[in-house]
Amino acid sequence: NPTDETADPVVVEEKKDFTYTVIPLDNDFSSILKIGERGILIGAGKKENKAKILQYLGKNNLQYLDAIIMLGADDEESNIYEFAEMKLTTKVIMVNPDLEKNSDNFNIMNRLSEIKTKLKEMGINVENLNDKTKVDFINSTITGYLEKGKKTASLVIKVGEQKILIKNEMSKEKIKDITNVEYDAIVAEEEKAIEEELLEKGKPRKLVLYSKDRLIQISKENKEKIEKYVKPEDIIEVGIESYAKMDMKRTEVILSISKVEVPENERNITHNTRVIDNSKPNNN
C-alpha cells in the first residue's frame, strides 16, 4: 500500500562512474572494482606485491575498501592480514570450497579456518564465498561460481548491462552456468585452457590474460583457439609492463576497455610509495 508509512521508499539507483583495473603484476592476480567513490579488492595478491597493490589503490583514491575477496583456497593470506591491520577494510569474503575428505584437503580447510579465526579476532567480518553467492555492491552484483571439488571461485561482475567474468577452474558441465550471457570482458589465467564453448557463447569483446607462472608459455593450440573468437588486438596481456583498465562514466552506455602501458620507473615498485594508514585516531 503506497500510503502505508512503513513502506520502504523506492530507491532509484543513480548511475555512478565504474572502473575495473587488473593490477600489473608478474605471476600474480589482484584487481580493483571501483564504483563511485567506493571499492572492492578482488584478489589480495602475494606478499611481494603488497606495495604495488597499495600504489594502485592510491591511484584509484581508495583509502578504504568495502571488502576484500579471496578467490582461491591456495592464495597467500599475508596481505589480507596486513590490509586488515591497516584498517583498509572490515570485511573479507573468503572462498569456501566443498572438497573431498582427504589429508591434502584437510590441510587446506584447516588453513582456511585458521585464517577466518585470525581475521575475526582482528575484528573483521568474514563472509563465505560459496557457489552462487551474490554480493551486492552499490549498483553492481558480484556472483561467485564455485564448483564442488574445486579450490578457486570464478566471479561474474554485473554493473547495469555490463558484464565481466573472472574465470577460474571449471568443468565442462559447470561452464554451462556462465555461458548464458555475453561478456564485455573475460579475465583468465594465461596458462589455463579457456573452453571453446565459453568463447563461442560468451562472445567477449576483450580477453584479459594474466599469468601465475611465466615459465609456462601459452600453448599454440590454446592461442589458435582463442584467436578464432577474439581478434589479437582485443587480447590484453597483463604483466609488469601493461595492464587492463575498464571504465564507464555514468553518462556513457558502453564500457571502454583499454590496455595501459606502465611507465618504466613504476615497473618494479617494491616499497610503499604512498602508505595508506587508517589506524591513527581522529583528533576531534
- For residue 46, is it within any domain? yes
- pTM, entire model: 0.90
- For residue 136, is it within any domain? yes
Joined together, the cell numbers standing for residue 108 give 587446506
Q: pLDDT per residue over 20-44, tens digit each?
A: 999 999 899 999 999 999 999 999 9
- Cβ contact 71:261 at 8 Å: no
Q: pLDDT per residue over 63-72, tens digit each?
A: 999 999 999 9
- For residue 228, is it within any domain? yes
Other CB atoms within 10 Å distance of the CB of residue 63: 15
Q: How many folded domains does the chain comprise?
A: 1
Closest by CA position to 77, among listed 37, 126, 40, 36: 126
Mean pLDDT for the chain? 91
Q: What is the CATH number of the domain that holds 82?
A: 3.60.15.10
Average pLDDT (78-95) is: 97
Q: According to the model, what pLDDT value does residue 268 have? A: 80
Of residues 278 and 97, more confidently modeled = 97
- For residue 9, is it within any domain? no
Average pLDDT (211-235) is: 87
Looking up cell 552484483 gives 141
- For residue 263, is it within any domain? no
Q: Is 220's pLDDT higher than 90? A: no
Question: Could you tell me the residue range of the domain that residue 244 belongs to?
Answer: 18-251
Q: According to the model, what pLDDT value does residue 216 have? A: 73
Q: pLDDT per residue over 146-181, tens digit each?
A: 999 999 999 999 998 999 999 999 999 999 999 999
- For residue 5, is it within any domain? no
- For residue 93, is it within any domain? yes
